Structure formats: C-alpha cells, structure tokens
C-alpha cells in the first residue's frame, strides 16, 4: 500500500494539527506518523488552555480544525465504543457539524437548476438567509403559493468533489494505519473509513433522504407518538429536498419543556418504546437521533409526542440479524447468560469453535456487577457496549448495521435519562420487546406470510417433482461412487433415507400449508379456524420429516 504523493502535504497537515493540539500520544501510538514527528520543532506550541484539556477534548478540537469530513469521521468513531476508549467516545459524541453558511444566492441557483424553473415558480417566498448550516447542506425557510410553510434543504456547491478528495485522504491514512498499526486487525481502520464513505454517500442524495422520511412517516402515520414532516415530492430532487415546516422544542431543552408543562416521564417512556418499535416492528430506524434531530411538540403537554428531523442516516437489519438481536435482548433482560453465548454462535457472529462455557463465563463476568444495582440505575446501552467489547476477544464479527444500532441505543437511552433521570429502561423495554416479538412471530402472522407468498409457490410447484427426482438421482450416484468404502456407503444410505423421508414429509407439509393458505383466502366462506388447523398439520408434517441426528 502506497500513499499517493499528492496526498502527502495533506497527511503532513493532519499530523501537524494533531501535534498542535498536544495529541503526541496519539501520534506515537498510531505508528503511522513516526517520520512526521520530525516536524515537531516547526509546529507552534499549543496554548495553555489547550494543554489543560482532556485528550478527548483535544482530539475533538483537532478534528473540528481539520474540517467537515474529519468531523464526520469523529462522529462515526464516537459510535465505535468497541474500539475507542469511553472518555474519547464521549467527547467525540459532542461534535457539532456546524460550518459557516454559503451564500443564499448560490442556494437559490441550485434550487432553480434542480427544479428546472425560477424559484418564484414553485415558492411564494424563499429566504436566502439559512435557518441552519452544516457541512453537507443548509436549510432555508420558504412558503408555497398556497400559504404552506416549508423548509428547503440544499446541498453545498461542489461538496461532492470535496468529499471525494477528502475520502481519498482518509483512505490513505487508513491504509497507513492498516499497514503499520500493531492492532490493525482489531481497529480495522479501513472498515471505519468505509463506514464514513457510505454515510456520506447516502447524505449526498437528498431524494434518498426524502424517501426515508416518507417511509418513517408511513410507519407512524397516526402521529400520536412521533410526527414526521411530509415530503413535497414535486419540489424534491437529488440536491434539493422540500419538507413541511414543523415547530417544536429540542428534547434536551428541559427548561422549555417544563415551562410548557410537558410530562417528561411519559415522554421518556415513549422514546424508549419508539426505539424498539422502529427496530423490531418496522426494521427501519432513525440512526442519528441526537437532540438536534429530535424535537418535542409542546402543543400537547399531557400527551407529548416527538418530532423527527434529518433523515440522512437511517438503519435497518437483515431479517436474521433482527431475530438474533431480539433474542439476545430478551436473554439479557432475563439474565440467561448461557443463552446469550449460544445465540452469538447460532447467529454466526462468532465461529462455531468457540467454547460456549468460556463465553458464558465471560458474559456473566460483564453482566453480574451491573445487576447488583437497582435496575433504574443500569445503563442498557453501556452494558451492550461492554458485551460487544468482550465478544471481540472471541472473534466477534460485528456488522455495520449492528454498530449503527448500538449508536442509536446510546442516543435514545441518553435522551430518555435526560428527560427522566429515574427511568427504568429495563422495565420499559422488556414488555415492549416481548409484545412486538409475540405479534411478529405469531401463527396468524405466519399464515398471512404464507398467503402473501402463495402465488410464487404455486408458480414454482410444477418444478418440484423434477427437482426431487434430480436430488434422488444425485444421492444414488453418490452411493455408487463409494461402493469401495462399506462404512461410507452405509452412512450415505442412511442419509439418503433421511433425505427421502424429509422430502416426502416436506411435500406433504408444503401441500398442507398451501392448502391452509388457500382456505385463508376463502376465510369468509370457510372460516379462519379451518386454515389454522390445516396449517398446523403442515407444520407437524415438516417436523416429522426433519432430519434427526
């Protein structure tokens, strides 16, 4: 891996900023900047106020000085508490992505270019002074011709090229760290860079953000617990997003919430419940839920609701991971450490060679000290982070989606405890998750899934006999190839019998399940009970044919 010569000056600048903020230990520990320590004599000595700050605060200030892309990188690192020490992660979590605004005339020009018409064609008014400005985009207030108040989010001019250039620099730094850092296999710097790159790629497409807002709004269409502003699709493009303007109070403005008479305890409970509903009911969650993006509607103090903003970073999980994660949470709530260990292996997050008893003991060692405290004082997010850190010693393979979820859990728990310091996260979360799982994996929902997939199954049904015949022929041919080995032949015959039995009962079970789905479609005439009985018979047939060891 070679660092391109054209990025060397920028690498030098990064090193000089780190040294200027007295991050010598970081430069030394990283190993990749060893040659650059020669520039120390030429770097201005840090101010006394910088010298007195903690290492996390100094790193936060250094990333801010390096520019928006490094701020984004710091935000990602703040979520990687399995890699970054807690004191540094806490400081990086405070990074505010605020930069000076670009001229409103340029924003107007971009809107006209994207919407292919003068601003006055689509908006009755367009305020060139931005309401807010960040590294990727800024937001302007506007009014539609029907009098509706909206906000217009506009990408910064030339931001795509700037990000491409800075990502190359980050990748070069990551390659150096990958090559020279002694713990590169654990830190995985290139994976961190990839996370930053993916996050930025998503944020550069405002039409994608609009689609995310639209889906989240549909998931909470009642608006009772959370309100999501509507997207004006006719005024939205890749670099322009027009949303309904909403009004509220930031969820961390406790004084304003109290002045409005908001029931903060009820709001905190609702926030925890919303997290589990987004993750395990809808499998689509707001992954940037810091107070700046989560407001509170003060118009209904007795029945408060949240207002969601900024949908550039959303998360979802593969269905299998969603199931395994939910089971892990339930096992954690019930303090079933052996099950937590087994679930990690069954999910494929750890190699099957891991000794379950050792992993169980490690999980118990992490969890037991927490349960000596009152449940209201236990941080579920902190415990999950420590479990991930422990699991990494056993070759845990952690997917980026789970890392994003971990960050969201930290944010939501932080908001909940800020609103109500005495909230019992465990007491709120456990029944909510059990209810969601009971509904998600109920027999009725299974039958509905069968009904939904019935057309494609019926379409593929004529191919089943030929597929079974081919499979049996392959089994028979395998027997003939192994006649010279009597033990292997006997084993293959046994496997063939298992396969034939599984196929037979599988066909019977599949037929009964299809029959149950057909009855379900005719439920008004035959009743749902008949469909359920036939469906249960199909499941029994599947179980009867399941291979036994």
Q: Which residues are catalytic?
A: 288
Phi-psi region of 395 (alpha: psi -120 to 50; beta: other; left: phi over 0): left
Do the beta carbons of residue 213 and residue 243 sit within 8 Å?
yes
Work out the angle at residue 461's Cα, subtended by the Cα atoms of residues 446 and 467, and round it to the nearest 5 degrees. 115
Do the beta carbons of residue 546 and residue 509 sit within 8 Å?
no
Look-up of token digits 């496997």: 495
Report how far Cα 451 is from the mean position of its chain's Cα atoms.
30
Do the beta carbons of residue 366 and residue 383 sit within 8 Å?
yes
Report how far Cα 359 is from the mean position of its chain's Cα atoms.
26
How far apart are the C-alpha atoms of 170 and 340, rounded to whole Å? Answer: 36
How far apart are the C-alpha atoms of 89 and 80, rounded to whole Å? Answer: 8
How far apart are the C-alpha atoms of 55 and 397, rounded to whole Å? Answer: 29
How far apart are the C-alpha atoms of 79 and 47, rounded to whole Å? Answer: 29
For residue 317, how many other CB atoms are within 10 A of its CB? Answer: 21
Cα dihedral 166, 170, 175, 180 sign = positive
For residue 265, how many other CB atoms are within 10 A of its CB? Answer: 12
Q: Which three-class secondary structure state does DSSP give residue 67?
A: coil
Do the beta carbons of residue 216 and residue 284 sit within 8 Å?
yes
Do the beta carbons of residue 252 and residue 291 sit within 8 Å?
yes
Q: Which three-class secondary structure state does DSSP give residue 402?
A: helix
Do the beta carbons of residue 413 and residue 381 sit within 8 Å?
yes
Full DSSP string of 464-529 = HHHHHHHHHHHHHHHHHHTTT-HHHHHHHHHHHHHHHHHHHHHHHHHHHHHHHHHHHHTHHHH-HH
Do the beta carbons of residue 242 and residue 152 sit within 8 Å?
yes
For the record, the structure tokens of 458 come out as 């019926």
């Amino acid at each position: 891996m070679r660092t391109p010569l054209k990025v060397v000056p920028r690498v030098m600048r990064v090193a000089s900023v780190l040294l200027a903020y007295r991050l010598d230990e970081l430069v030394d520990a990283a190993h990749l900047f060893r040659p650059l320590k020669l520039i120390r004599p030429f770097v201005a000595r840090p101010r006394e106020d910088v010298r007195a700050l903690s290492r996390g605060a100094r790193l936060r200030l250094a990333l801010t000085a390096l520019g928006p892309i490094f701020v984004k990188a710091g935000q990602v690192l703040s979520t990687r508490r399995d890699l970054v020490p807690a004191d540094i992660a806490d400081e990086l979590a405070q990074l505010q992505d605020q930069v000076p605004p670009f001229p409103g005339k340029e924003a107007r020009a971009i809107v006209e270019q994207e919407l292919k018409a003068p601003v006055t064609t689509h908006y009755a008014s367009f305020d060139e002074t931005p309401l807010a400005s960040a590294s990727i985009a800024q937001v302007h207030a506007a009014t539609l011709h029907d009098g509706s108040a909206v906000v217009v989010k506009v990408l910064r001019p030339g931001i795509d090229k700037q990000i491409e250039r800075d990502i190359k620099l980050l990748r070069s730094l990551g390659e150096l760290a990958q090559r020279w850092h002694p713990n590169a296999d654990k830190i995985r710097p290139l994976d961190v860079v990839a996370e930053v790159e993916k996050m930025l790629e998503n944020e550069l497409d405002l039409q994608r953000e609009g689609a995310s807002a639209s889906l989240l709004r549909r998931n909470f269409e009642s608006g009772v617990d959370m309100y999501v502003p509507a997207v004006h699709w006719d005024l939205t493009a890749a670099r322009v997003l027009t949303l309904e303007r909403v009004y509220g109070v930031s969820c961390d403005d406790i004084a304003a919430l109290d002045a409005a008479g908001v029931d903060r305890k009820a709001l905190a409970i609702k926030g925890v419940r919303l997290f589990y509903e987004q993750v395990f009911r809808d499998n689509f969650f707001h992954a940037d839920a810091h107070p700046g993006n989560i407001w509170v509607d003060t118009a209904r103090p007795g029945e408060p609701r949240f207002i969601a903003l900024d949908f550039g970073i959303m998360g979802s999980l593969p269905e299998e991971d969603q199931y395994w994660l939910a089971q892990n949470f339930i096992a954690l709530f019930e303090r079933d450490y052996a099950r937590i260990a087994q679930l990690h292996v069954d999910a494929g997050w750890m190699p099957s060679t891991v000794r379950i008893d050792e992993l169980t003991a490690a999980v118990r060692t992490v969890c037991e000290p927490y349960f000596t405290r009152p449940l209201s004082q236990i941080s579920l997010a902190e415990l999950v982070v420590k479990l991930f850190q422990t699991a990494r010693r056993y070759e845990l393979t952690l997917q980026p989606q789970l890392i994003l979820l971990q960050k969201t859990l930290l944010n939501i728990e932080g908001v909940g405890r800020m609103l109500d310091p005495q909230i019992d996260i465990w007491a709120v979360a456990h029944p909510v998750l059990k209810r969601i799982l009971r509904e998600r994996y109920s027999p009725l929902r299974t039958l509905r899934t069968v009904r939904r997939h019935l057309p494609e199954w019926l379409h593929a049904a004529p191919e089943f006999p030929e597929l079974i015949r081919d499979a049996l022929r392959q089994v028979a041919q395998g027997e003939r190839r192994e006649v010279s080995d009597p033990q292997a032949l006997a084993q293959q015959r046994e496997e063939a019998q298992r396969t034939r039995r599984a196929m037979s009962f599988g066909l019977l079970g599949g037929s009964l399940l299809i029959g149950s789905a057909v009855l379900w479609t005719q439920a008004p005439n035959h009743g749902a009970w008949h469909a359920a009985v036939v469906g249960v018979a199909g499941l029994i047939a599947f179980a009867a044919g399941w291979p036994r060891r």
